[in-house]
Amino acid sequence: MKRYIFPVALAFGLIVGSASAQAAEEGGLLPAGTNVQDQASLQRGAKLFFNYCVGCHSLKYMRYSRIASDLGLSEQEVMQNLNFTGARFEDPVVSHMPADLATKWFGKAPPDLSLEVSAKTADWVYTYLNTFYLDPHSPVGWNNTTLPNAAMPFPLWELQGMQTAEMKPAKPGEDPAVEKLVLSQPGKLTPAQYQQATRDLTSFLEYASEPVALERHHYGIWVLLFLAFFTLLAAMLKKEYWKDVH
């Protein structure tokens, strides 16, 4: 009976993984391909966040000192290159945009992004950052196929450029839907470079959602080594204990 357990469990895991991948594909999400173990990617993502996002969005569960420690940066590097709000090194990352003015300008205050990836997945955030398009009917001039009627203007437009939407022919009684996005005006980055930039930004937000994951991955190696040693020790003990039993 035991010999059938592993193949069944493996088949079940493959079925579940395949179903999850198919669901993501059907939902129109792009694979983010993030790697929180890539420190250089996290550093680039942090630079993008603090240059383009922190003016509106906070990371209230993260401190500048923790970011420095986890990303291999010195206090001087963080305070000179990432701190634009006058915060102290030990302070949490809080935007200085007044909530009342944000509500007046955008209809509601921009959300804190500390747990954004945990709540919506890295694929969702990455796709969202790649699916803004010009919309003259929107109050902010932009719209998004991942989050239709988003109140947020597109902060990375100068990097990606400007996308326009080609609409599907609408049937009577139906609202028009976006068929595809076309890059009508290039930005500072090529499409491949922009995809890498948004992957870096998503990786940083994924790290911010669970910074302890970096430590957990390091501890995991030692845990596996301990389990291997304990298994060997237990096997030797079993052999010694049962050698005189017939």
pLDDT (tens digit, 9 = 90+) per residue, 200-211?
A: 999 999 999 999
What pTM does this model have? 0.77
pLDDT (tens digit, 9 = 90+) per residue, 42-66?
A: 999 999 999 999 999 999 999 999 9
Structure-model confidence comparison of residues 172 and 90, the more confident one: 90
Would you say residue 96 has pLDDT above 90? Answer: no
Write out the chain in H/E/C secondary structure. CHHHHHHHHHHHHHHHHHHHHHHHHHCCCCCCCCCCCCHHHHHHHHHHHHHHCCCCCCEEEEEHHHHHHHHCCCHHHHHHHCCCCCCCCCCEECCCCCHHHHHHHHCCCCCCCCCHHHHHCHHHHHHHHCCEEECCCCCCCEEECCCCCCCCCCCCHHHHEEEEEEECCCCCCCCCCEEEEEEEEECCCCHHHHHHHHHHHHHHHHHHHCCHHHHHHHHHHHHHHHHHHHHHHHHHHHHHHHCCCC
| Average predicted confidence (pLDDT) for the chain | 85
